[in-house]
A and B are shown apart, each in its own frame.
Chain A
Amino acid sequence: MIDFELTPEQKEVVAAAHKVAEEMFRPISRYYDEHEHETPKELIDKLWEGRLQGSLFGGLDMTAALRTEEICWGDAGLYLCAPSPGLGGAAVFASGTPEQVQRFLGNYNEDGPKWGAMAMTEAGCGSDTSAITTTAVRDGDEWVLNGEKIFVTYGKKAIEDSEGFVVVWATLDKSAGRAGMKPFVVPAKTPGARVEKMEKKLGIKASDTVTIVFDNCRIPFENILGSPEVRKMEKGTTAGFKKAMATFDATRPLIAAQALGVGRAALDFVRETLDKEGIEIRYGLHRQKLSALERDFMDMEANYKAAKLLTLRAFSLMSQMLPNSLEASMAKAKAGLAVTKITQKAVEIMGPLGYSRKCLLEKWMRDGKINDIFEGTGQINMLVVARRILEFSREQLK
């Protein structure tokens, strides 16, 4: 039955997350935007303490998405500081054996805060992930990793500041192309893995985005996720690459949920400001009678709704164990674009209030843009959508 009602549990989660976002994230939002690379230690500790009473983070289901939206309504950069198994954890869940899930995530809740990062992008390849050059060579019962990964979200927190880990995508055999790509778990403080550079960014400044260099970095043989076997590029043997893509089916809608949070923050700000000014949005009125402001606002709101429903649909399919690649990319593409449009328009509508750093709107515009970029740019997601609807292979549609 078509239904849009949250479960009682989901309503509770949303309410709790909203409270946290409002009380813990919003008050320090501006500070950590202005103090890039400073660690919000107090927030992290509080979140870590609270992790067992109804975890605020982690999870890849619809409830997690709803919670994520609320937290990112608070602050999308600080959201990325929250201790979490993160994308690394998602990769372990998607590609690891039950034993590996237990080994890498089983003790997650013990001791101090931890993060699980994912290292895919390299200087020479972003969206074209199959072109990675980082290598993994077997040496007895170890793998030796060499290469450089950039744009690793909370990479520093994962391997320097905590006992977390980073999932590194490396190739076992470059000539095997995508079939040779494998994910490896590199635990924190492994010799040979070091954080080299912290990026200075347009937005989500509270989140560390780093370069990690792997210099003869040795990890146990068992840290390869999935099968170590490389079969040459025959049809259907791109299992390694496919696993990376399968991870995206889960994480892309989650990025969409982050985008929704930022977009709604901007919408709420505009609505509240209009309310204070006594300006009403007249929904039932015929369109040509609406003011330009009303039309703009309704367009922003509709885009938010469209993105949200596409996102929830992607999660709904996932929870039914149905394929959702198409819907995941639709949600990501739409949400990335929607948050970009909504926040940019909001800055315009609010004028000086929008552009000034006294308010958070300009920050949301900078923060929101990342959602149209990471976990696959809007264009890459459009490409995925296009291939799926056309039933074209990557050779048929480049």
Chain B
Amino acid sequence: MISFSPTEEQQMIVKLVRQFANDEMRKVYRECDENGEIPGHIIDTAWAMGLVSSGIPEEYGGPGGEHSAITGALIAEELAWGDLSMAMHILSPALAAFPILEMGTAEQKKKYLPAFCEDKFKAATAALIEPRFGFDPGSLSTTANLKDGSYVLKGQKCFVPLAKDADVLMVYASEKGKSHGFIVEKGTKGLEIGEREKNMGVKALATYELSLKSCSVPNENRLGGDKGYDFSRIMNCSRVALSAMAVGVARAAFEYSKDYAKERVAFGEPIASRQAIAFMLAEMAIEVDAARLMNWEAAWRLDRKEEATKESSLAKAYTDDMVLMVTDRAVQVLGGHGYIREHPVELWLRNGRGFATFDGMAIV
């Protein structure tokens, strides 16, 4: 039966994460953006909430239970509402953990999952994006060739969160024209982590370029082993995560500009009393909700293990436009003040613009 109500358990998680986002993330988001650093206690607190380990079976040290894309989307929205850089940092380990959890071989699960259930934050990541025009996850330039029982990876990657600290990197490369995931451990010969990237937004998130110079990994490190894996499902899970985060950023911008418009007086009344402003806000509200519902539907299909490429692609494309429209409008509603870094809206616009680029940088 059609329903738009999260379960009680989901509502509890949302409440918890929202409170954390409000009380912790929102307190420091600006200085994090300026300094490019996230305080350790934020990462530790979020880690202790078990957002990444949820769904990992008890035999690997996890709490068990079902891994759900809908729950993941709900969490991702709240975290991104708090701050996108922190949200991506906090959820970065999932970029390696979730594909292994869903599609890894028994050996891969046994070897890599327990680390994600430990008390201390486990840095891990995925390397998908390549630094070139016309990048498409479906046709990667990075190659993987089997040679003497090992895969040799060659290519360039960028926008790899936490690459420098990550113990495990899920590197996507093309093998015989198809995109595959390869588990690469820290310090593997030929894996060269470049300088930290400087981007327009998500400045508190440490992202790196990396080079794979004939980087050799054992053949058992191919995600899913001989059986292979479902790349389109990984991309769809990523689209849902990113769309949820975009909704979170947009909601933050909408709420802030709405409150501002009610307070800010011009010509004797709040600017929100003018339709030129009020209608912008109304459209923002509608589009934030519409995008969220579309994304929920895609997540729902993923949870039912149904094909979701169409739904998640539509939701992602729609949300990419939506978040830009909403964050831009938020700056516009604040006018000159929106342009000043004392208010958060310019930061949300910079972060919002990134979603069209962030393929594979988050996953639920």
Cβ of A313 and Cβ of B4 under 8 Å apart? yes
Cβ of A397 and Cβ of B136 under 8 Å apart? no
Assess whether B200 is interfacial by the CB under 8 Å rule: no
Assess whether B58 is interfacial by the CB under 8 Å rule: no
Cβ of A5 and Cβ of B2 under 8 Å apart? yes
Cβ of B359 and Cβ of A286 under 8 Å apart? yes
The smallest beta-carbon distance between B61 and chain A, in angstroms, is: 28
Answer whether A2 and B5 are a contact pair too, CB < 8 Å, given A306-B293, A310-B290.
Answer: yes
Cβ of A2 and Cβ of B3 under 8 Å apart? yes
Quick check: which of B22-30, B114-122, B186-194, B270-278 contacts chain A, the rest being far away?
B270-278
The smallest beta-carbon distance between B311 and chain A, in angstroms, is: 8
Partner of A62, one of B2, B286, B296: B2
Give chain A residues whose Cβ lies under 8 Å from the Cβ of B310.
283
| B-contacting residues, A299-330, CB 8 Å | 299, 301-303, 305-307, 309-310, 312-313, 316, 330
Partner of A302, one of B4, B294, B309, B359: B294
Cβ of A383 and Cβ of B278 under 8 Å apart? yes
**Most-contacted residue by chain B among A284, A333, A334, A385 (CB, 10 A):** A284
Cβ of B314 and Cβ of A285 under 8 Å apart? no
| B-contacting residues, A77-93, CB 8 Å | none
Partner of B272, one of A286, A288, A385, A392: A392
Answer whether A302 and B278 are a contact pair too, CB < 8 Å, given A5-B1, A392-B272.
Answer: no
| A383 to B281 CA separation, bound complex (whole angstroms) | 10
Give chain B residues whose Cβ lies under 8 Å from the Cβ of A285.
136, 138
Assess whether B39 is interfacial by the CB under 8 Å rule: no
Cβ of B136 and Cβ of A306 under 8 Å apart? no
Assess whether A52 is interfacial by the CB under 8 Å rule: no
Cβ of A397 and Cβ of B272 under 8 Å apart? yes
Assess whether B258 is interfacial by the CB under 8 Å rule: yes
Cβ of A302 and Cβ of B318 under 8 Å apart? yes
Cβ of A306 and Cβ of B138 under 8 Å apart? no
Answer whether A386 and B278 are a contact pair too, CB < 8 Å, given A2-B6, A3-B2, A330-B285.
Answer: yes
Give chain B residues whose Cβ lies under 8 Å from the Cβ of A303.
318
| A110 to B11 CA separation, bound complex (whole angstroms) | 48
Answer whether A301 and B285 are a contact pair too, CB < 8 Å, given A2-B4, A284-B309, A310-B290.
Answer: no
| A-contacting residues, B4-28, CB 8 Å | 4-7, 10
Give chain A residues whose Cβ lies under 8 Å from the Cβ of B6.
1-2
| A305 to B294 CA separation, bound complex (whole angstroms) | 7
Q: Which residue of B lies closest to A301 (CB)?
A: B314
| A4 to B5 CA separation, bound complex (whole angstroms) | 11
The smallest beta-carbon distance between B279 and chain A, in angstroms, is: 5
**Most-contacted residue by chain A among B1, B283, B285, B297 (CB, 10 A):** B1
Cβ of A385 and Cβ of B275 under 8 Å apart? no
| A3 to B310 CA separation, bound complex (whole angstroms) | 18
Assess whether A231 is interfacial by the CB under 8 Å rule: no
Assess whether B232 is interfacial by the CB under 8 Å rule: yes
Assess whether A101 is interfacial by the CB under 8 Å rule: no
**Most-contacted residue by chain B among A2, A334, A390 (CB, 10 A):** A2
Assess whether A201 is interfacial by the CB under 8 Å rule: no
Assess whether A41 is interfacial by the CB under 8 Å rule: no
| A375 to B245 CA separation, bound complex (whole angstroms) | 35
Q: Which residue of B lies closest to A315 (CB)?
A: B2
Cβ of A305 and Cβ of B314 under 8 Å apart? yes
Give chain B residues whose Cβ lies under 8 Å from the Cβ of A390.
258, 261-262, 272, 278, 281
| A-contacting residues, B180-222, CB 8 Å | none
Cβ of A397 and Cβ of B278 under 8 Å apart? yes
| B-contacting residues, A263-309, CB 8 Å | 283-289, 295, 298-299, 301-303, 305-307, 309
Q: Which residue of B lies closest to A314 (CB)?
A: B4
Assess whether B300 is interfacial by the CB under 8 Å rule: yes
Give chain A residues whose Cβ lies under 8 Å from the Cβ of B285.
330, 385, 389
Give chain A residues whose Cβ lies under 8 Å from the Cβ of B84.
none
| B-contacting residues, A374-398, CB 8 Å | 379, 382-383, 385-387, 389-390, 392, 396-398
Partner of B317, one of A299, A313, A333, A397: A299
Give chain A residues whose Cβ lies under 8 Å from the Cβ of B356.
287
The smallest beta-carbon distance between A283 and chain B, in angstroms, is: 4
Cβ of B318 and Cβ of A306 under 8 Å apart? yes
Partner of A309, one of B1, B258, B297, B320: B297
Give chain A residues whose Cβ lies under 8 Å from the Cβ of B359.
286
Q: Which residue of A lies closest to B68 (CB)?
A: A2
Cβ of B318 and Cβ of A386 under 8 Å apart? no
Assess whether A53 is interfacial by the CB under 8 Å rule: no
Give chain A residues whose Cβ lies under 8 Å from the Cβ of B318.
299, 302-303, 305-306
Interface string of B223-250 (1 = CB under 8 A from A): 0000000001001000000000000000
| A312 to B296 CA separation, bound complex (whole angstroms) | 13
| B-contacting residues, A1-29, CB 8 Å | 1-7
The smallest beta-carbon distance between A312 and chain B, in angstroms, is: 6
Give chain B residues whose Cβ lies under 8 Å from the Cβ of A7.
1
Cβ of A310 and Cβ of B272 under 8 Å apart? no
Partner of A284, one of B235, B261, B279: B235
Cβ of B2 and Cβ of A396 under 8 Å apart? no
Q: Which residue of A lies closest to B71 (CB)?
A: A2
The smallest beta-carbon distance between A285 and chain B, in angstroms, is: 7
| A333 to B270 CA separation, bound complex (whole angstroms) | 24
Interface string of B279-301 (1 = CB under 8 A from A): 10111011101110110110011
Q: Which residue of B lies closest to A391 (CB)?
A: B262
Give chain A residues whose Cβ lies under 8 Å from the Cβ of B10.
2
Give chain A residues whose Cβ lies under 8 Å from the Cβ of B2.
3-6, 62, 312, 316
Cβ of A2 and Cβ of B70 under 8 Å apart? yes
The smallest beta-carbon distance between B97 and chain A, in angstroms, is: 23
Give chain A residues whose Cβ lies under 8 Å from the Cβ of B161.
none
Interface string of B315-357 (1 = CB under 8 A from A): 1011010000000000000000000000000000000000010
Interface string of A237-257 (1 = CB under 8 A from B): 000000000000000000000
Give chain B residues whose Cβ lies under 8 Å from the Cβ of A284.
138, 232, 235, 309, 313
Cβ of B134 and Cβ of A288 under 8 Å apart? yes
Sample of 11 more A-B contacts, CB < 8 Å, known A309-B293, A389-B281, A397-B272: A2-B296, A3-B3, A284-B138, A286-B135, A286-B137, A299-B317, A309-B294, A310-B293, A385-B285, A387-B278, A390-B262
A–B pairs, 15, beta carbons within 8 Å: A1-B6, A2-B10, A3-B3, A3-B300, A4-B296, A4-B300, A6-B2, A289-B136, A301-B314, A302-B314, A309-B293, A385-B285, A390-B281, A392-B272, A392-B273
Top 10 nearest A-B pairs by Cβ distance? A306-B290, A309-B293, A386-B278, A386-B282, A385-B282, A286-B136, A302-B318, A283-B313, A283-B310, A302-B314
